[in-house]
Structure formats: C-alpha cells, structure tokens
Amino acid sequence: MERGEAVSEKRLHLRISQSAESAVRTGHPWIFADSVRECSRSGRTGEIGVVYDRNDRFLAVGLFDAESPIRLRVLERGRGCRVDGEFWAKRMDRSVAARCGVVGDETDGYRVVNGESDGWPGLVVDRFGDVLVVKIYTAAWMPWLGRVRDELVRIFDPTAIVLRMGRHCSEAVRREATASSAGRGVSREFPLSDGSVLHGILENDTVPFRENGLCFEAEVIRGQKTGFFLDQRDNRRRVEALSGGRIVVNTFSYSGGFSVYAARGGATRVVDVDVSAPALEAGKRNFDRNAGVGGWACSREGLRADVFEWFRETPPIGCGLIVVDPPSMAKREPERAEAIRQYARLASGAIRQLRGDGGILVAASCSSHVSEAEFFESVLGACRSSGRRFVEIERTGHPADHPSSFPQAAYLKCIYLRLG
Ligand code: SAH
C-alpha cells in the first residue's frame, strides 16, 4: 500500500459554506477552517479530503491539514479522481512540460513546481543544476513526499533532493513527532525535518548552477527560500541591459545576483548592501567567480548595513542605478499599511542616492499582502515628493516559471523609473 494512502482507510468527507463553494468553483485553491460546515470524522493532517456541495455533487478533492487555518488545499476540482500513482505522475509531467523552452539552454536553475498555481498546493520545487529542493508549506505533504521524490527521480535523476519546510510546517512536523514518540498522534515513517536529504547525497550545502550563462551558488540548506531568489531572473536580465557605464547600488543584495548581471552589462562599479555578513560573502563569491571568467572591468564593494539607516546616514553618492528588493514587508494583512509606508520610505532614500541626469530606480516588492497598485503608487508617490522629473520605464511581475493563478499567489511586482 502507498504511504499516502495508508493514512486512513475511509475517505474524509467535508461540506463547506456557500461562499467557500463559490470560491472553489471559480478556482480558489484554499478552504479555510472557518468555512468547513461538516467533516465526516476528525481528519488527520495529510489525508485526502473530498468536498461535496449542498446538492451532494462532487466539488473538489484536496489535502487536509488538521492544524492550519487553511484546512484543505485543493488538488482537483470539478471532477472526481483517484489520488494515486498515475495522478502524481501526470501532474509532475504537466509541470515539467510547462517549463519546456521557458528558461533556455544557458540556465539550469529554475522553478519546476510553483505551488497552488501549478496544482501542487503548498509545495514548490526548485532545480539548481543536479540538485532539487522541495519546499513544503504544510505538513499535509509529509505522507506524500515519497511520491514526490519518486516522480522527481524519474524525470530528473538528480544527485540529491533536499527538503525544506516553511516555518509553520516545520513547527507542525516537530509537534507531531513529539506526539508520536509519546504514543499519541500519527506515527509517520519519515523522521524528516527542515534540511533533510530525501534522495541521493548532498556533498555540499553550496550548490552551483547556471543562469543565463552566469554561474551562481545556491545555499540549499541554510539559505533563504530554497537557497536563491530564482523569481528575480528576468529582472536581473533587465538590470544587466540598463547598467552599462553606471555605478550600481544593490540594496538588500542577498547573494548579489543583480550585481553580477550589472557587471556583465558594463557597470563600472557595484555596491552590495545587506545586513547579513554570510549573504555578503556569498555575493562576493558569486561576483568573483563570474568576473574572473568574464574579465570585467568592474569593481565590487560589500557594505554590511541596515538599508534604512544607510539611506538616512549616507550623503548622496550619485549612482547610476539602484536596486531596492527588500524581503517581504507584510507577512500578515495587519502589516499592510505600514509596509506601504516602508516601501515609500525606501524609494525616497534610493532616489536621493541617484544621480540627477537619468539615474534609474528599480524597486521590487514580494509582499503578497501589498497589491500591485498599492506598491506602484507608493513608489510613484516617492518620486513625486522628490520634486525631480521622472519617467516610468517598465512594470514587471512574475516570470514564466513562477505562474500565479489566484490573487494571493501574485506577490512579485517591480517598477523601473528614470529620474532627472
Ligand atoms: N534582492 C535579493 C533578494 C533579497 S532577500 C536577490 O535578488 O537575490 C532579502 C535580503 O535582505 C536578505 O539578504 C536579508 O539579509 C536582507 N535584509 C533584510 N532586512 C534588511 C535591512 N533592514 N537592511 C539590509 N538588509 C536587510
């Protein structure tokens, strides 16, 4: 018997509120705990739940999570299906096929599976060369990880597959492990935690991969997200095209991706600013590795600083392009209003650093609680308050390997402005 199917013998049946029914019908992948009206028995995290509507018609099938406010994550709606080996194989084939031709030959670091928007609610898979990283945001995936691993091995034959967990998921898995060892809860076959290796051997946490002909490293176990911000690949390309002959300041630089592209694009100097020393070290390694091969005439500096303070304290340096790509400022809805103010503050600080004859501001946001309109308006508001002339160059969103199929999934937005 399959691991995932062994979790329960009898399928869990749910009924949900009318508004939740409508939401599911229009493709929303989440059913919240407070919209569950009836559950046939107490469900266990990781089992399959089937939702019927008021007229007893099949509505959806999904992964049940007994603890998360998102009680069921929809796998399929509209037509009944068996969640068996064939189901997972077809689904993985579909995700892989959707990436065909998307990133080109010079790139082997990209997102293979993008959660809900790819039919894998709460699960992403990133590829870094020969290594795959599976990141789960719900413990409901725990009983199904063997399946996911087998599909990835079948298609990619990777040297290693690493498991990463979102914070809430990690905590839920730990709680369950404690309950199991105390004789309570479900005993799972997987003694897994954040950073476990699901398949093969990971020789080094630092995994090399290629992006548009450049060479980067991803820190797949200790790094943020899955080890590298693959979602900014297309924006890095744009920054490359805009950087010729300019001094480029890369704030919230992490491992320096934007700076490496800027240098290849002809920047005379790049400055990484980040609060994290390990991030700056990774930025230096990524820069040196490529600069050596490319023979670029570009110098690099790494500054360890809080960007907000740095903007307050540094006199205008007159740089030609500045990238502002901070971490999420609003992880929860109540933080939204303050996040919008912070984005405006950052944009004002960045504008002050730009030279007066066409300096370029590249401002990005990855807060899903801040809408595109709110973010763009906060940056444009900062431009207006600066009293400088400005023209908008471009607005961008998600790259093709990071599709977003519902409002909460659309987190990434970026705006390019030229200031006089
Ligand atoms: N722009 C990066 C990703 C940014 S991730 C890329 O394209 O790869 C966010 C980064 O911001 C992290 O490296 C984190 O260390 C840094 N950070 C968070 N808060 C900061 C602050 N107040 N000042 C400086 N760096 C900060």
pLDDT in tens, 280-290: 999 999 999 99
Domain of 308, CATH number, reads: 3.40.50.150
Going from the Cα of 254 to the center of ligand 1, the distance in angstroms, rounded, reads 5
The label of the residue with tokens 């406010």 reads: 69
What mean pLDDT is reported for the chain? 94
Co-location of 256 and 114 in the same domain: no
Burial 298-311, CB ≥16 within 10 A → b, else e: bebebbebebeebb
Co-location of 244 and 392 in the same domain: yes
List CB contacts of 150: < 8 A, sequence separation 6 or more: none
Co-location of 57 and 99 in the same domain: no
The finding on whether 325 has its CB within 6 A of some atom of ligand 1 is: yes
List CB contacts of 301: < 8 A, sequence separation 6 or more: 269, 270, 271, 272
Q: Whole-prediction pTM value? A: 0.93
> Bridge partners of 164?
135
Q: Is the pLDDT of residue 130 over 90?
A: yes
pLDDT tier, 292 (very low <50, low <70, confident <90, very high otherwise): confident
- The verdict on residue 149 lying in a domain is yes
Supply the angle between the helices 145-156 and 85-98 in degrees, to the nearest 10: 50
What pLDDT is recorded for position 37?
A: 96
- The verdict on residue 245 lying in a domain is yes
Domain of 61, CATH number, reads: 2.30.130.10
Going from the Cα of 177 to the center of ligand 1, the distance in angstroms, rounded, reads 33
Co-location of 187 and 239 in the same domain: no
List CB contacts of 101: < 8 A, sequence separation 6 or more: none
Q: Is the pLDDT of residue 36 over 80?
A: yes
Each residue of 160-216: pLDDT tens digit?
A: 999 999 989 999 888 887 777 665 544 455 579 999 999 999 999 999 999 999 999
Q: How many CB atoms lie within 10 A of CB 18?
A: 11
The finding on whether 328 has its CB within 6 A of some atom of ligand 1 is: no
Q: Is the pLDDT of residue 248 over 70?
A: yes
The whole-angstrom separation of Cα 75 and Cα 67 is: 18
Which of 128, 272, 273, 275 has most ligand 1 atoms within 8 Å of its beta carbon, as the pocket-test mutant?
Answer: 275
